[in-house]
Amino acid sequence: MAAGCACQAAEEKTLPYAQLDEVIAKYRGEAAAIITILQDVQELLGYIPKQSIAYLAEKLHVSPAKIYGIVTFYAQFRLAPVGKYNLMVCEGTACHVNGAKALTRAISEELDIAGGETTQDGLFTMERVACVGCCSLAPVVVVDGEAHANMTPARVRRLIGQLREKEQRSQGAQAAKEVL
């Protein structure tokens, strides 16, 4: 641990400390704002980098263990970045009864990742969530805040294909721009 790894050093350098300070300042004087602050940090960075925990602990005058304890207690907080497309498979009761498990399996097969994991290219994450409240449209997969209703394994595979295509197109466009 003493030597630290290269990625950690890189992470430290890239943490936007000024923005973190702004978040902290926003809730100054408010009691028990740690959870709210962490929510804002995650909104800002997409996840809670380990390094930010130490930084927040120092600024908020609490132990890093306390913050780490909160981060790992609540399902909302992530310690690793998510992919560009976060496939949230709803595993609420209604979705379960209507075949959510088959969707998880199809995504797993298609992307070779398990729940909570991200593909190597950083494009897709599969998140298994406990209920998004669209029970009458079950089973549901949410991507980028948009709920896809009445999903089947075939439709979820198609959705992944469409997202991949979209990505390739935009990469193609990017490459073309660079050439010009």
Partner 1 sequence: MQEKTVVKVGMSTCGIAAGGRKTFATLEREIAKHGLDVELRQTGCIGMCYIEPLVEVHSPAGETYYYGAVTEEKAALIVQEHLLKNEPQEELLISREKGNVFSKQVRVALRNCGDIDPESIADYRRKGGYEALRKALLEMSPEQVIEQMLASGLRGRGGAGFLTGLKWRFTRAAKGQPKYLVCNADEGDPGAFMDRSIIEGDPHAVLEGMLLAAYAIGASAGYVYVRAEYPLAIVRLEKAIEAAREAGFLGEDILGTDFNFIIKIKKGAGAFVCGEETALLASLEGERGMPRLKPPFPAEQGLWKKPTCINNVETFANVPWIILNGGDKFKAYGTEKSSGTKVFALAGKISRGGLIEVPMGISLREIVYEVGGGIPGGKKFKGIQLGGPSGGCVPESLLDTPVDYESIVKTGAIVGSGGMIVMDETTCMVDMARFFLNFAQNESCGKCTHCRIGTKRMLEILVRITEGKAALDELDLLQELALEVKEGSLCGLGQTAPNPVLTTLKYFREEYETHLRERKCPAKVCRELLTYTIDAAACTGCGLCTRRCPTAAVSGEKKEAHTISQELCVRCGNCFDACKFNAVLVE
Residues that bind partner 1 (CB under 8 A): 31-36, 38-39, 69-70, 73-77, 91-94, 96-98, 102, 105, 109, 129-138, 140, 145-147, 149, 153-154
- Buried b / exposed e across 80-94, counting CB within 10 Å, b at 16+? eebbebbbbbbbbeb
Q: Which helix (H) or strand (E) holds 141?
A: strand 141-143
Rounded Cα gap, residues 38 and 55, in angstroms: 12
Q: Are 74 and 107 in contact (CB under 8 A)?
A: no
**Closest CB to partner 1 among 14 and 76?**
76
- Note the residue count of the chain: 180
Q: How far is the CB of 28 from partner 1 (least distance, A)?
A: 14
Which amino acid does the sequence have at 163? L
Q: How far is the CB of 109 from partner 1 (least distance, A)?
A: 7
Q: How far is the CB of 162 from partner 1 (least distance, A)?
A: 17
Q: How far is the CB of 35 from partner 1 (least distance, A)?
A: 6
**Closest CB to partner 1 among 34 and 44?**
34
**Closest CB to partner 1 among 85 and 127?**
127
Rounded Cα gap, residues 59 and 54, in angstroms: 9
**Closest CB to partner 1 among 9 and 130?**
130
